[in-house]
Amino acid sequence: MRQNGRIFLHKQYFCRKVLISTMTRIILQKNTSKQRRGSSPLAVFFNSVYPLSPDAVAYIEDNTSLLKLGKGKLLVKPGYNSDKLFWVLKGVVRGYITEEGKEITTWINEENEIVGSIRNLGLDISSDEYLQVLEDTELVVIPRAVIEHLYAHFPEANIIGRLLLEENYRGAEERAYISRIPSSEKRYRRFEQTRGALLNRIPLKYIASYLNMTLETMSRIRGKK
């Protein structure tokens, strides 16, 4: 019963993200031809979380930029000293580390997620993590100085930050939970129930790595009825 409750809450989390993604896409389609203030994809997304003041919208538009990367390209690699975060407008990004020559996927994020090398954000140390785009991907680059300015000068930014932190914490809790399920099949079924759309979107080897199983094991599980 408790596990079903966890799945229900996690489905709610991703349903809300799908809804926000749809709303953002609709607003952006309406704004594309107008090219007016407020059409920044990041500002549109933040507005869907909590209303922004016109000055905050203008600041975001003037101080963030769009980055496009082709499938398979690295966004961050070891040695990167993090002073930026990235909001995924379109595409999928994974984080991974290497251990004894083997790539280990630690997380996979989609549209409307903020990604980056979080562990060393604000610290004068380099990252030991790779971030790789798994599709042709569009991201909005958010310098750390911009985040700090928004927090300091726009009260609503602190509310948005808290709400996004709550969602990211739920995602982190889910990653911790699924990694501790002892059965490979139960880990896969959990992923299938909560994030099944990714199974038809990215190479399965990355999902197998994320779920700590071989691709062969996951193929056998998928072959069961």
pLDDT for position 22 = 47
State the average pLDDT over residues 53-68: 97
How far apart, in whole angstroms, are the C-alpha atoms of residue 67 and residue 140?
Answer: 6
State the average pLDDT over residues 148-173: 96
H/E element, 17 = helix 2-32
pLDDT in tens, 83-140: 889 999 999 999 999 999 999 999 999 999 999 887 766 666 777 899 999 999 999 9
Q: With 60 as the cut, is the pLDDT of residue 209 above it?
A: yes
State the average pLDDT over residues 130-157: 97
* Residue 175 Cα to chain centre, angstroms: 13
pLDDT for position 79 = 81
Q: What b-and-e string marks burial along 148-179, b requiring 16 or more CB atoms within 10 Å of the CB?
A: eebeeebebbeebbeebeebeeebeebeeebe
pLDDT for position 117 = 81
Where do the domains of the chain lie, and which CATH numbers do they carry? 2-167 (2.60.120.10)
Indicate the pTM of the whole model: 0.82
- Could you tell me if 44 and 140 are in contact, meaning their C-beta atoms sit under 8 angstroms apart? no
pLDDT for position 37 = 55
C-alpha separations of 166 from 109, 161, 198, 225 in Å: 16, 9, 23, 36
Q: With 70 as the cut, is the pLDDT of residue 28 above it?
A: no
Q: With 60 as the cut, is the pLDDT of residue 143 above it?
A: yes
What share of the chain has pLDDT > 90, as a percent?
Answer: 72
pLDDT for position 137 = 98
Q: With 50 as the cut, is the pLDDT of residue 218 above it?
A: yes
How far apart, in whole angstroms, are the C-alpha atoms of residue 204 and residue 105?
Answer: 12
pLDDT category, 36, cuts 50, 70, 90? low
State the average pLDDT over residues 34-38: 50
- Could you tell me if 116 and 85 are in contact, meaning their C-beta atoms sit under 8 angstroms apart? yes
Q: With 80 as the cut, is the pLDDT of residue 39 above it?
A: no
Mean of the per-residue pLDDT values of the chain: 86
pLDDT for position 161 = 96
pLDDT for position 126 = 73
